Amino acid sequence: MGDAHFRRLESMYQAAPINRTFAAKLAVTKGEARVEMEVSQDSWHAAGAQHGTPYFKALDDACFYAANSLVEDVFMLTSAFNLHLTRPFQEGLMIAHGRWVHGKRRVYLAEGVLTDGDGQELGFASGTFMRSRIPLNTIPGYNPDSS
């Protein structure tokens, strides 16, 4: 696994249309990923705190890219995801740290922790990710020539 693969994953992430909705940044290393996302009142539920959507988005992305950092040929797919919300949050910086835990063939397990900008835990998760048949080099953003 090399830095070029990690930078291409980061580029692919930024090119995804969903990231026009969520102001998120991704950093990938071997078996790990970090997502930083600014959230505002735009994603509050009726009681004045963040809906679960940003929690899921940040943690799924961090865990997904931790797993896909170990796979250079195909796009991974989330096949199961368990999310635990441990603290309500209103607005500001959310930081998700994902790390690969197990798997090297078809299915990978990763786990993650979500914190606020002060390091207080907001939630944690685990997910399983499986290899797809979609070549990474065909996805906009991954291959500089495919955008």
Cβ atoms of 123 and 53 closer than 8 Å: no
Is pTM, for the whole model, over 0.85? yes
Which sign does the torsion angle of CA 20, 25, 29, 32 carry? Answer: negative
Can you spell out the DSSP letters for 47-77? Answer: TSSB-HHHHHHHHHHHHHHHHHTT-SSEEEE
What counts of helices (H) and strands (E) characterise the chain? 2, 6
| Torsional class of 89: left (φ above 0), alpha (ψ -120 to 50), beta (otherwise) | beta
Q: For residue 46, give every residue at least 6 positions away whose Cβ sits within 8 Å of its Cβ, in sequence order, or none.
A: none
Position 147 scores a pLDDT of: 44
Q: What is the CATH number of domain 3-138?
A: 3.10.129.10
Of the candidates 93, 104, 107, the one whose C-alpha atom is nearest the C-alpha of residue 34 is: 93
pLDDT of residue 44: 87
Does 4 score more than 90 pLDDT? yes
Q: Predicted confidence band at 59 (pLDDT cuts at 50, 70, 90)?
A: very high
Confidence class for position 146, pLDDT limits 50, 70, 90: very low
Give pLDDT, residue 1. Answer: 64
Q: Virtual CA dihedral for 16, 31, 101, 34, nearest 10 degrees? A: -50
Q: Where are the domains of the chain?
A: 3-138
- What is the spatial distance between Cα 60 and Cα 43, in angstroms, rounded to a whole number? 17
pLDDT band at 145 (very low <50, low <70, confident <90, very high): low
Chain position carrying tokens 């505002």: 40
